[in-house]
A and B are shown apart, each in its own frame.
Chain A
Amino acid sequence: MTKFIFFSGKGGVGKTSMACAHAVRYADEGKRTLIVTTDPASNLADVFEQEIGHQITPIAGVPNLSAMEIDPDKATQEYIDRAMAPIRAAFPPQIVEVMEEQMSGPCTAEVAAFDRFTDFLDVPSNNGTSFDIVIFDTAPTGHTIRLLELPAEWSQSIDAASAGSGQTCLGPAAAIQDAKHKYERALAAMRQTSQTSFVFVLHPEAISIKETRRAIEELRKLDIENFSLIINGIIPPEGAQNPLFAARAEMQSRYLDQIEHDFDYPKQRMILLADEIKGAGKLRRVGKIFFDGEPASGSDEAARVHLQNETFASPLDDVRARLSPNGHRRTVFFAGKGGVGKTVASCVTAVWLARQGFKTLLLTTDPAAHLGDVLDTPVGDDVTEVSGQLNLWAVNIDPKAAAETYKTRILNDARQRGRPESAIKVMEEELNSPCTEEMAAFDKFIEYASQDEWQAVVFDTAPTGHTLRLLELPVDWSKQIDVKVFASVDATAADDVAKQRFAKVIEMMSDPEQSTFAFVVYPEATPILEAWRAAQELGTVGVHPGLVVANMVIPSEQATTPFVQSRRAMQEKYLAEIGQRFGVPMVQIPLLPHEVKGLEMLAELGDQIYSEQVTV
Chain B
Amino acid sequence: MTNLIPALNILPSSVEPIQVEFFDPPMCCPTGLCGPTLDQTLLDVNEMILALQTEGIRLERYQMTSNPNAFLGNVEVMRLVREKQMEALPIIVVNGKIIKSGEYPSLSEVRAALNGAN
Contacts and interface: CB of A to CB of B under 8 A. Distances in A.
- Do A and B associate with each other? yes
A470 to B, nearest CB: 14
B36 interface: yes
B76 interface: no
Contact of B89 (A171, A176, A487): A487
Interface string A403-435: 000000010011001011011001100110101
A334 B114 CA distance: 59
Contact of B43 (A105, A423, A483): A423
B40 A492 contact: yes
A226 interface: no
Contacts, number: 149
Contacts of A98: 25-26, 86
A102 B54 CA distance: 31
Contacts of A172: 1, 63, 65-66
A105 B28 CA distance: 9
Nearest to A174: B66
A481 interface: yes
A163 B82 CA distance: 34
A374 B25 CA distance: 49
B43 A480 contact: no
B37 A99 contact: no
Contacts of A427: 31, 33, 43, 46
A410 B32 CA distance: 11
A497 to B, nearest CB: 8
Interface in B72-102: 72, 78, 81-82, 85-87, 89, 102
B19 interface: no
Given A164-B7, A427-B33, A489 B42 contact: yes
Contact of A486 (B31, B63, B86): B86
Given A91-B64, A95-B86, A443 B1 contact: no
Contacts of B68: 86-87, 90-91
B31 to A, nearest CB: 5
Given A95-B26, A173-B2, A430-B29, A494 B38 contact: yes
B78 to A, nearest CB: 8
A442 B64 CA distance: 28
A488 B87 contact: yes
B109 interface: no
Contacts of B86: 94-95, 98, 486-488
Interface in A157-198: 161-164, 167-174, 176
B10 to A, nearest CB: 10
A173 B9 CA distance: 13
- Interface centre among B2, B7, B31, B89, by most chain A C-beta atoms within 10 angstroms, is B2
A489 B3 contact: no
Interface string A75-96: 0000000011011001110110
A167 B35 contact: no
A529 B26 CA distance: 39
A273 B48 CA distance: 67
Interface residues of A, number: 60
Q: Is the interface of B mostly helix, strand, loop or mixed?
A: loop
Contacts of A168: 1-2
Contacts of B38: 410, 413, 494
B102 to A, nearest CB: 6
Contacts of A419: 43, 47
Interface in B28-63: 28-31, 33-43, 46-47, 50, 54, 63
Nearest to A177: B2
A423 B65 contact: no
A498 interface: yes
A359 interface: no
Contacts of B78: 90
A172 B30 CA distance: 12
A164 B61 CA distance: 12
A171 B5 contact: no
A382 interface: no
A248 interface: no
B6 interface: yes
A12 B28 CA distance: 36
Contacts of A103: 65
Given A94-B86, A95-B85, A164-B5, A431 B27 contact: no
Interface in A246-269: none
Contacts of A90: 68, 71-72, 78
B63 A173 contact: yes
Given A92-B82, A488-B102, A167 B27 contact: no
B18 interface: no
Contacts of B4: 167
A167 B1 contact: yes
Nearest to B69: A86
A487 B26 CA distance: 7
A169 B28 contact: yes
A532 to B, nearest CB: 31
B89 A488 contact: yes
A477 B34 CA distance: 11
B39 A484 contact: yes
Contacts of B72: 90
A487 B29 contact: no
A163 B64 CA distance: 21
Contacts of A486: 86
A145 interface: no
B81 A92 contact: yes
Contacts of A414: 43
Closest CB pairs A-B (n = 6): A173-B2, A173-B66, A164-B7, A487-B25, A172-B65, A94-B85
27 contacts: A87-B65, A90-B78, A91-B81, A94-B86, A98-B26, A102-B27, A161-B2, A167-B3, A172-B63, A173-B1, A174-B66, A410-B38, A414-B43, A419-B47, A420-B47, A430-B33, A439-B34, A442-B36, A480-B35, A481-B36, A488-B103, A489-B25, A489-B27, A489-B41, A490-B39, A492-B37, A492-B39
Given A174-B66, A426-B46, A498-B37, 5 more contacts: A98-B25, A161-B2, A172-B65, A173-B6, A427-B31
